[in-house]
Structure 1
Amino acid sequence: MTESTRSTEPQQADMPDWEKRFRAPRVSLPDWAENAPHRSLFVSNATGTYELYAWDRETGEQRQVTHRANGTTDGVLSPDGEWIWWFDDKDGDEFGVWRRRPFGAALVVGAVDEPAVPGLDPSYPAGLAIGRDGRTAVVGRSTDDEGSTIHVARAGEAPVEIYRHRESAGVGDLSHDGSLIAVEHTEHGDAMHSALRVLRPDGSVVAELDDTEGGTVELGLEVLGFAPVDGDSRLLIGHQRRGRWEPLVWDVATGEQTDLGLDLPGDVAAEWYPDGSALLIAHSFEARSDLWRHDLASGGLTRVETPPGTVSGATARPDGTVEYLWSSAAEPSAVRSTTGEVVLDPPGEKSPGSVPVEDVWVEGPGGRIHALVQRPAGTTGPLPTVFEIHGGPTWHDSDSFAAGPAAWVDHGYAVVRVNYRGSTGYGRAWTDALKHRVGLIELEDIAAVREWAVTSGLADPDRLILTGGSWGGYLTLLGVGTQPDAWALGIAAVPVADYVTAYHDEMEALKAMDRTLLGGTPEEVPERFEASSPLTYVDAVKVPVYISAGVNDPRCPIRQIDNYVTRLAAREAVHEVYRYDAGHGSLVVDERIKQVRLELDFAERHLGR
């Protein structure tokens, strides 16, 4: 690799398995250029920091593209394969500009790539689409002052603004011939459910599609992509009209909508095969996923064979094969192909595996709750147990490989992950259920699964840890305050701790989400913010609390965490805080290992085993 490879890495023989899992080189699903499919772009941690890599499949050459102290993961390969665009922010604050470099350019450490769109000030990114002509790009931006804007940029010309609104919006896609631009927007004020608008490059409107009916019906739409054919006005979109995500084909020129009517349970997404004749279907159901091919002419649905587990990304190649990123809780991720080959195998030591998950269904106050359980092999309960709560909140835990839970298992803990109300993959009603009583609803579901864990004999009620990152960190702090007798420890990473201050300091897109979740601003619905804020319950906290936070985090800003910690300190409550120089988490492997080691040590000192 390059000079950024770490020479101070411990020898693998002296390293515990949990650390090997973090250090093992891993790669993302490679993106490929539409007009130059032999050129690809992927993300890897091979040097100890997650960075972008270019891959020429004809020669086999792989080159590191970016080199920044805090890593880089946001990159796009132009359709002609000539340019790599990457987003340049400051130490993880997500506020910056797009830069670009030629695909074949050698990395020069310390050199600065040219701005991709001169004339656009720094912003939060809100979508990017690059034209096949190599000269046109559609750039979505978000700032606290301007709201959402979309610009069309052509080589040698100043960027032209074609869209602006105070509410959240972003670029969905650019049509194959560059004549149509799909935009997702929330002008109706519901940040959880987007409407669609199709524009011409001059900003004039071609078509509108809005299932929210002015915000009175909670149905969302999403852009999945224009047909990959010149002059084709078909847009593949996702909809929720039957209570789950499904694809349909919308001809934006005629208005015709073709409902695919796929007989698959759970959520269904799709993307085009490169010739536009079929769709690659990504199907997610009860924390696992698989792939299908849907022929548009015949309506036939054919399974694309993948192992049991989770497909976290897939793409159809021009030769008809499908490449996909797959893992399970027991087996580390790999980029595979329907040819049976591993497509991209990073060099270096391989990650150790872990134990498989068990599925648990628990009756809760809002319906059946799905939880995933891992326990050390050969153990019987009751065990010290970690409830590791996912972020989002609109996300879900799945049967996929995760080094964090595996580290707890290696240290003798059972791990329980709960897909509480608000999680995706269990229908629209389940995802949307958390409005207004934010945080409290999720904790009701977590409490129900906690009760199952104790009564089933899995968990030792005196050795229960509540932990999570981002929204999971928020629920951790809210949980140790509202359920003070239920938990022995709280370990929160990058959390919301003081909801009112977090609202005022966070990026604009998250303010819009909070207004949707809570029904207004802190000034409009103060009682809801108070009821949902961990700071409200800080004086009830009885157990030791550990908090880690990135000082540049735009999502869970540091000031609101400091407010919470100040209140803990005033009570002389047992707590520890770790601040690090990054944003919403870290892309540096050493830093991530340090954080996990600190969490394990905190649990050992305060809980024992």
Structure 2
Amino acid sequence: MSSDVSSDVKQSNAAATAAFDSLPPWEQRFRAARVGLPEWAEDAPERSLFVSNATGTYEVYAWNRADGAQRRVTDRPHGTTEATLTPDGEWIWWFDDTDGDEFGVWRRQPFAGPAPSAGAERDEEAVPGLAPSYPAGLALGRRGEAVVGRSTDEEGSTLHLVRPGLAPLEIYRHRESAGVGDLSHDGALIAVDHTEHGDAMHSALRVLRINPAGDGVDVVAELDDATGREEALGLSCLGFAPLPGDARMLVAHQRRGRWEPLIWDTATGAEQEIVLDLPGDVTAEWYPDASALLIEHTYRARSELHRYDLASGELTALPTLPGTVSGASARPDGTVEFLWSSSEQPPVVRSTTGEVVLAAPGPQAPPSVAVEDVWVDGPGGPVHALVQRPADAPAGPLPCVFEIHGGPTWHDSDAFAAGPAAWVDHGYAVVRVNYRGSTGYGRAWTDALRHRVGLIELEDIGAVREWAVSSGLADPERIILSGGSWGGYLTLLGLGTQPDAWALGLAAVPVADYVTAYHDEMEALKAMDRTLVGGTPEEVPARYAASSPLTYAADLKAPVYISAGVNDPRCPIRQIENYVTELEKLGKRFEIYRYDAGHGSLEVEERVKQLRLELDFVARHLPR
């Protein structure tokens, strides 16, 4: 399973470069090699992991910074992205599922390469005796211990303490969603993010300590901003202090209507809120010596970095270009590495020294066009949209693609995206809407979609559509509604509830039949749906019916293209087939493409194929 990331590309470099150069820019953006932000071992910072698509499939790579050596750690037909290092850098843990279904086990191999006894085809199970599950967090300790989070339909959420030579010990179980927050530096404390109060959008925190007998755990601290409140607030563990014997935890909270950091001393209960004069959401992580916090500030679809000195309270801006930081990490020498991109410029791993830390091998992705910010008055307040226009666009109204993000608790940002850039290349304006339910605009905006799920988001999308037409940007007869995951769900729901607004629909891995989707999806998503909709389909059937695309199938006027992963645990295939069967009965115009993967694909070739199929569908169906 071992291979050098550079040799993967160099074997046929000249021929590959020539072939790459002959491709249209939109396809080059998909096929260009990329690297993710490296993760490094806490006690061996020269040892790192990163994800790359250098071979055409997203896989995990090990990088020894001491000598520059890189090798491919995983090699699976459907790709691998979830992996981490033990603190000493000796072992790599990675999650092994089946064909993208997200249900599987953790495996491990030595950082230096698979041991001969492990075999070339499959690494050893990291935790023998734990049955396959959906992952719910993982924390690795310095004495060989680990805390493994699991989720299954039968058991709900469970956490297990794993110690060398001992059987896994179950230390937590609950029907509601929960996960591993962190393990303290000395392995004495375990943080649990949980939603026992029944609100999957707002977690509470619990700290456990292994009891003296070693056969169980004791609860030593609780922090809960949700239970018993008229308006639940969320908390999230950002990590214990990286020092031996230090019981402080960095926590994200929502007490002032947005995400901000605080330091919670889990031994004394003392809290230190970090109040910064920054608009928007603020999150943080520790510097390795715990003297400062690395602040990531997100505001109006862009982000930047700061250093906050804990002793002086001084906030210092770190050098980043306008755009989006998709991850950052402070190194032991005080420098910060971060993954940056903009809608115009492709992603690159940079350092605050100004250097490129890790470059992707082979030809690079061509740039796209910058986004314009648009604010539209919506029924729930101002709606922020990001607009891209072709560089040589004519003055008149353009064909337009409304590319709707997933989540729903996510947001579109000024970041590089090959899909929207492809539509721009083909002469379309692209509009991305951060509707109610999106993150980055305050807690009230994110929480606003409850009970009228889907319908509220579409009100905001509809308001931006009206602006696009009235401003002269969009040709009203040639507006496409498109999206993946929750965006695919909103596409199908929008085609049924706003049938005169959209000329075509492109729905990737969507929710199509909400009731069946609920019963078939992974347990953690059931909990989220109960929170969003207000109960199960049996408890609030009218709400599920009102929010289900299947309810409005008869009202569809526009042709729709659907793509679906047959192993998808998030938007399972059966509920999509129910929707397709209904469209067939009604004589609606549609096409469906099924592919062998889960919730999207980690194969570059498959991603290119899917975009090409969408382009072809639009070319055949959109009015000229």
Please indicate, yes or no, whether the TM-score normalized by the shorter chain is above 0.5: yes
- What letter is aligned with 1:327? S
Query: Could you say which residue in structure 2 is the equivalent of 1:456?
Result: 471
Partner residue, 1:506: 521
> Match of 1:536?
551
Task: Give distance in 1, aligned partners of 2:418 and 2:166.
Answer: 47
2:133 partner amino acid: S
- Structure 1 CA distance for aligned equivalents of residues 73 and 97 of structure 2: 16
Q: Give the direction of change, closer, same or farther, for the CA distance of 1:605–1:196 in structure 2 (3 Å limit).
A: same
* Cα displacement string for residues 204-243 of structure 1 (whole angstroms, at most 9, x for unaligned residues): 1010010013363220000000000001110000000000
2:293 to 270, 279, 284: 279
2:54 to 35, 38, 46: 46
Superposed, 1:296-307 pairs within 5 Å as 296-307=310-321
Listed as ranges, the matches of 1:567-578 within 5 Å are 567-578=582-593
1:260 aligns with 2:270: no
Preserved CA contact (<8 Å) 2:114 2:123:
no
What is the CA distance between 1:149 and its match in structure 2?
A: 0.4
2:208 touches 2:218 (CA, 8 Å); kept in 1?
yes
1:130 to 2:140 alignment? yes
Say whether the 8 Å CA contact 1:180–1:200 is kept in structure 2: yes
Q: Any gaps of 5 or more consecutive residues in structure 2?
A: 211-215
Q: How does 1:191-270 map to 2 (within 5 A)?
A: 191-201=200-210, 202-214=216-228, 216-270=230-284
DSSP-derived class of the 2:340 partner = strand
User: 2:619 and 2:528 mapped to 1: Cα distance?
Assistant: 37
**Pairs aligned (count):** 608
Aligned to 1:317: 331
Between the aligned partners of 1:426 and 1:493, the Cα distance in structure 2 is: 26
Counterpart of 1:99 in structure 2 is 107
1:337 to 351, 363, 374: 351
Contact 2:114 2:120 in 1 (8 A): no
1:112 pairs with one of 112, 116, 122: 122
Residues 1:587 and 2:611 are matched in the alignment: no
Is 2:80 the counterpart of 1:67? no
> Deviations along 1:482-539, whole A, 9 cap, x unmatched?
0000000000000000000000000000000000000000000000000000000000
Change (3 A) 1:381 1:180: farther
Residue 381 of structure 1, CA deviation: 3.3
Once residues 111 and 214 of structure 1 are traced to their aligned partners in structure 2, the CA distance between those partners, rounded to angstroms, is 51
Distance in 2 (CA, whole Å) between partners of 1:468 and 1:495 is 8
What amino acid is the match of 2:36?
A: S
C-alpha contact (below 8 Å) 1:65/1:107 kept by paired residues: no
Distance 1:417 1:499, change over 3 A: same
CA contact 1:63–1:106 (8 Å) conserved in 2: no
**Residue 608 of structure 1: CA displacement?**
5.1
**Cα distance in 2, alignment partners of residues 238 and 260 from structure 1:** 10
Match of 2:160 in 1: 151
Q: C-alpha distance in 1, partners of 2:229/2:33?
A: 45
Residue 521 of structure 1 is aligned with which of 513, 528, 536?
Answer: 536
- CA–CA distance in structure 1, aligned partners of residues 321 and 8 of structure 2: 35
**Which deviates further from its counterpart, 495-504 or 378-387?**
378-387
Alignment-derived partner of residue 407 in structure 1: 422
Corresponding position: 1:170 with 2:179: yes
For residues 129-181 of structure 1, the C-alpha deviation after alignment (integer angstroms, 9 at most, x for no partner) is: 00022x10000000000000000001121000000000000000000011000
Query: Hey, what's the Cα distance between the residues in 2 that align with 1:37 and 1:537?
Result: 54
Assess, with a 3 A threshold, how the Cα gap between structure 1 residues 337 and 306 changes in structure 2: closer, same or farther: same
Distance in 1, Cα, partners of 2:114 & 2:52: 17
Opposite residue 553 of structure 1, the aligned amino acid is: D
1:327 to 341, 353, 370: 341
Contact preservation (8 Å) 2:32, 2:364: yes
Residue 416 of structure 1 aligns with which residue?
Answer: 431
Residue 14 of structure 1 aligns with an amino acid whose one-letter code is S
Question: Which residue pairs with 2:213 in the alignment?
Answer: none
AA of the residue aligned to 1:266: G
Structure 1 position 346, deviation (Å):
1.4
Compute the displacement of 1:110 (Å): 5.2
Q: Please give the alpha-carbon distance, in whole angstroms, between the structure 2 residues aligned to 1:601 and 1:155.
A: 55
Gaps spanning 5+ residues in structure 1: where?
A: none
Question: Which residue number corresponds to residue 359 of structure 1?
Answer: 373
SS of alignment partner, residue 200 of structure 1: strand
CA contact (8 A) 1:369 1:420 kept: yes
Partners of 1:89 and 1:13 lie apart in 2 by: 35
Whole-angstrom CA distance in 2 between matches of 1:567 and 1:542: 14
Which amino acid in the other structure matches residue 145 of structure 1? E
- What residue in structure 2 maps to residue 563 of structure 1? 578
Q: CA–CA distance in 1 between the matches of 2:459 and 2:408?
A: 15
The two structures have a TM-score, normalised by structure 1, of: 0.98
SS at match of 2:285: strand
Letter matched to residue 126 of structure 1? A
The equivalent position to 1:479 in structure 2, one of 482, 489, 494, is: 494
The answer as to whether partners of 1:64 and 1:107 remain within 8 angstroms in 2 is: no
Q: 1:449-508 CA deviation, whole Å, 9 max, x = no partner?
A: 000000000000000000000000000000000000000000000000000000000000
What SS class does the counterpart of residue 571 from structure 2 fall into? coil
**Are the aligned partners of 2:109 and 2:115 in contact in 1 as well (CA < 8 Å)?**
no
Partner of 1:20: 28
Q: TM-score, normalised by structure 2?
A: 0.96
The SS at the match of 1:19 is helix
TM-superposed CA distance for 1:106, in Å, is: 5.2
Q: Spell out structure 1 runs of 4+ moving beyond 3 A.
A: 1-10, 106-110
2:31·2:56 contact (CA, 8 Å) conserved in 1? yes
